[in-house]
Amino acid sequence: MIVRYGSWLLAASAFVIACSSSDSTTNGSPQTPDAGETADSGATPDEDAGEDAGTPDPLAACTKDPGPATVTFDPNSAEDPIGSDKFTLAQALAGFPESSGTLTALITTEQGAIRCTFDEANAPATVANFVGLARGTRPYKDGTTWKVGRLYDGLIWHRVIPGFVIQGGDPKGTGSGGPGYDLPQENHVDEPLGTLAMAAGTAPSGSQFYIVVGTGPAADYNVFGKCDVETAQKIAEVPRNSNDKPRTPVHMQRVDIARCPK
């Protein structure tokens, strides 16, 4: 299959990571994200959706995020106000309590929660970027303006393929969007079940990521963590259209960052 991002097509083993900057589609092609179903991408569910009082807190033993510190930047900058190759984990964690635990993300969905741990040592730039976008410390471009906020909350899994990957992190919900910048190449290694990595084309995407739910792609992508796969595999099995987009949207209701005991 094909790695798709922008107008470039790159051969990449027998599988696909699609991340297109064009809104065009090719019906029936699993390599092309469906840009014709954008209405559901803007639906942001209530933060407490799927969380009832009787549900145990999966982060109860962890140091939780109290909220980000204030970030200073130029919202009208013509270029990335920080620079994707300069954003550090210290900046991403601004306002987070000191802790020696394992840096962890909890992605809450209608199908359940996905718990991921980050590889800070081998993918520091990619981890910092994801954590910054999740917490609201990494500026991203919204139209012509740079802003900060919890980018991932409310986004959909726009591409799901049983036995391969689930993919999300596109603000447009089509596979054609991103935060206004790409990432540097980093930590291209084998991708077994549960691998957390960034989608890519000519460069790693700034926000679109995927979780391997079966046989992973070739070692051509920024690998930055490992995830539990039970819920991810359930998401991969939901009914989908010819472009592998779920017919009923599955949201990242919240993406919470914590440091948890090893």
> Does pLDDT of 227 surpass 90?
yes
Integer angstrom CA distances of residue 38 from 41, 171, 250? 5, 10, 13
- Mean pLDDT for the chain? 84
Band (pLDDT 50/70/90 cuts) for residue 85 is low
Q: What percent of the chain has pLDDT over 70?
A: 78
| pLDDT tens string 95-121 | 999 988 999 999 999 999 999 999 999
Calculated CA dihedral for residues 131, 135, 137, 143, nearest 10 degrees: 100
Cβ neighbours of residue 86 closer than 8 Å, sequence gap 6 or more? none
Cα torsion angle, 127, 1, 4, 25, sign: negative
Measure the CA–CA gap between 243 and 158, rounded to whole angstroms.
9
> Does pLDDT of 135 surpass 50?
yes
Strand ranges for the chain from DSSP E: 2-5, 8-11, 63-64, 102-109, 112-118, 140-142, 145-147, 157-161, 165-168, 195-200, 204-212, 223-227, 254-260
Contacts of residues 49-58 at CB distance under 8 Å and 24 or more positions apart, as own/partner, are 49/110, 49/253, 50/108, 50/109, 50/110, 50/253, 51/108, 58/106, 58/113, 58/115
Residue with tokens 């792609």: 217
Among 58-62, 150-154, 202-206, 242-246, name the one with the lowest average pLDDT: 202-206
> Does pLDDT of 179 surpass 60?
yes
With CA atoms as reference, report the closest residue to 212 among 150, 146, 166, 149: 166
Structure confidence at residue 55 (pLDDT): 79
Residue 22: what residue type? S
| pTM, 2 dp | 0.82
Structure confidence at residue 5 (pLDDT): 34
Among 45-59, 175-189, 219-233, name the one with the lowest average pLDDT: 45-59
Structure confidence at residue 38 (pLDDT): 31
Residues paired with 11 in a beta bridge: 2
> Does pLDDT of 250 surpass 60?
yes
Residue 41 is given by DSSP the state: G
Residue 247 is given by DSSP the state: S
Q: Are 19 and 7 in contact (CB under 8 A)?
A: no
Band (pLDDT 50/70/90 cuts) for residue 27 is very low
User: Which structural domains are found in the chain, ordered by start?
Assistant: 44-260 (2.40.100.10)
Q: Which H or E run includes 30?
A: none
> Does pLDDT of 18 surpass 60?
no
Integer angstrom CA distances of residue 93 from 16, 38, 98, 131, 243? 32, 32, 9, 7, 36
| pLDDT tens string 121-132 | 999 999 999 999
| pLDDT tens string 40-62 | 333 333 434 344 557 789 999 99
With CA atoms as reference, report the closest residue to 114 among 157, 174, 64: 157
Measure the CA–CA gap between 103 and 124, rounded to whole angstroms.
12
Q: Rounded to the nearest 5°, which phi and psi values hold at 38?
A: -100, -15
